[in-house]
Chain A
Amino acid sequence: MKHPEIFFRTLSVPIVFVLLAVGFHEFMRGHNAPGGGFIAGLIIAVAALLTRMATEHGLLTVRPRLLVPIGLFVALAGGIGPMLIGHPFLKSWHGYVEFPLFGPVELSSALAFDLGVFLVVVGATITIIDLLGDDTELARLGLDQEPSPVIHESTVEEITSPKEEY
Chain B
Amino acid sequence: MKVSPEQILLPLAIFLPFLLAVPASTLGLALKARAGRWLAIAFVPALLLPVFHARDALAGNPFSMSIDWVPALGLDLAFRLDGYSLVLALIVAGIGFLVMFYASSYLGKGERHGRFYTYLLLFGGAMLGLVLTDNLIAFFAFWEMTSLMSFLLIGFWDSRKASQEGAVKALIVTAFGGLALLAGVALLGIETGTWTISQIDWAQVVASDRFVPIASLLLLAAFTKSAQLPFHLWLPTAMEAPTPVSAYLHSATMVKAGVILMAKFNLVFAGTALGDVMLYVGLLTMFFGSWLALRQTDLKALLAYSTISQLGLLTALLGTGDNFAATAHLVNHAVFKAALFMVVGVVDHQTGSRDIRQLSGLVRVLPVTAWLAVPAALSMAGLPPFGGFISKELFYENALLQGSLPTFIAVAGSVLTFAYCLRFLRPFFGRLALPKPEDFEPAKPSIIVPFAPLSLLVVLFGLVPFQDTIASWFTRLAQPYFGYELHSLTLWHGFNQALQLSILTWILGTVVFILSRQVRSLQTLVTPRWNANTIYHSLMRGLVTSAEWVTRVTQGASFATHLRLILGAAVAVGVFAGVDFLPAELTPLNLASWTTVIIMLVGAAGIIAARSRITMLIFMGLIGYGSTMLYLQFRAPDLALTQLLIETVTIILFLSGFRFLPRMRSYSRPPSLAGLDAIIGLGVGLTIATLLLSVQSPVFDRISDFYLMNSKTLAGGDNVVNVILVDFRGFDTMGEISVLAVVAVSIYALLRLRARPPGAPETKSMEEGGK
Contact = CB atoms under 8 A, between A and B. Distances in A.
A is bound by B: yes
A85 interface: no
A125 B645 CA distance: 11
Interface string B649-674: 10011001101101111111100010
Given A31-B723, A36-B725, A92-B716, A157 B737 contact: no
Contacts of A69: 741
A16 interface: no
Given A38-B642, A156-B558, A128 B747 contact: yes
Contact of B645 (A46, A120, A124, A166): A46
A109 to B, nearest CB: 10
Contacts of A132: 653, 656-657, 660, 751
Contacts of B663: 147, 164
A76 B734 contact: yes
Contacts of B436: none
A54 interface: no
Interface string B160-179: 00000000000000000000
A42 B734 CA distance: 17
A141 B641 CA distance: 36
A165 B663 CA distance: 8
B731 A124 contact: no
A155 B560 contact: yes
B652 A129 contact: yes
Interface of B is mostly: helix
Given A36-B638, A68-B744, A71-B737, A113 B730 contact: yes
A89 B666 CA distance: 54
B516 to A, nearest CB: 63
Nearest to B754: A140
B706 interface: no
A123 B560 CA distance: 33
B717 interface: yes
B556 A92 contact: no
B736 to A, nearest CB: 8
Contact of B656 (A31, A71, A72, A129): A129
A2 to B, nearest CB: 14
Contact of A129 (B557, B641, B649, B740): B649
Contacts of A101: none
Given A31-B719, A32-B718, A160-B667, A46 B748 contact: no
Nearest to A50: B652
Contacts of A155: 557-560, 667
A143 B557 contact: no
A36 B614 contact: no
Contacts of B559: 155
Nearest to A130: B656
Contacts of A42: 642, 645-646, 649
Nearest to B667: A157
A79 B726 CA distance: 10
Contacts of B741: 68-69, 71-72, 120, 123-124
Given A129-B649, A163-B666, A34 B637 contact: yes
B715 interface: yes
A137 B745 contact: no
B752 interface: yes
Nearest to A64: B744
B659 A125 contact: no
A165 B716 contact: no
B642 A157 contact: no
B488 interface: no
A117 B657 contact: no
B58 to A, nearest CB: 43
A161 B668 contact: yes
Contact of B727 (A37, A72, A92, A162): A92
Given A42-B645, A92-B716, A117 B737 contact: yes
B25 to A, nearest CB: 26
B445 to A, nearest CB: 55
Interface string B707-722: 0000000011111011
A128 B730 contact: no
Contacts of B743: 124, 128
A39 B641 contact: yes
A29 B614 CA distance: 37
B641 A34 contact: yes
Chain A interface extent, by class: 35 or more
Nearest to B657: A132
A134 B717 CA distance: 41
A12 interface: no
Given A120-B737, A120-B740, A156-B561, A39 B638 contact: yes
Contacts of A75: 733-734, 737
B611 interface: yes
B660 A141 contact: yes
A113 B745 CA distance: 21
A131 interface: yes
A161 B744 contact: no
Contacts of A114: 722, 725-726
A156 B638 CA distance: 44
A143 to B, nearest CB: 6
B526 to A, nearest CB: 52
A142 to B, nearest CB: 11
A49 B663 CA distance: 26
A90 B723 CA distance: 12
A39 B751 contact: no
B7 interface: no
B443 to A, nearest CB: 56
B64 interface: no
A108 interface: yes
B659 A138 contact: yes
Interface in A80-97: 89-90, 92, 94-95
B747 A156 contact: no
Contacts of A30: 719, 722
A165 B727 contact: no
A90 B743 CA distance: 24
A36 B726 contact: yes
B538 interface: no
A108 to B, nearest CB: 6
Contact of A121 (B560, B641, B737): B737
Given A38-B725, A143-B659, A163 B744 contact: no
A32 B642 CA distance: 16
Given A92-B726, A157-B667, A163-B666, A46 B648 contact: yes
Nearest to A107: B716
15 contacts: A33-B719, A34-B641, A35-B719, A35-B722, A38-B642, A75-B733, A89-B731, A90-B727, A92-B726, A114-B725, A117-B725, A132-B656, A137-B660, A155-B559, A165-B666
6 A-B pairs with the lowest CB-CB distances in the bound complex, closest first: A94-B716, A42-B645, A124-B744, A156-B558, A132-B656, A32-B718
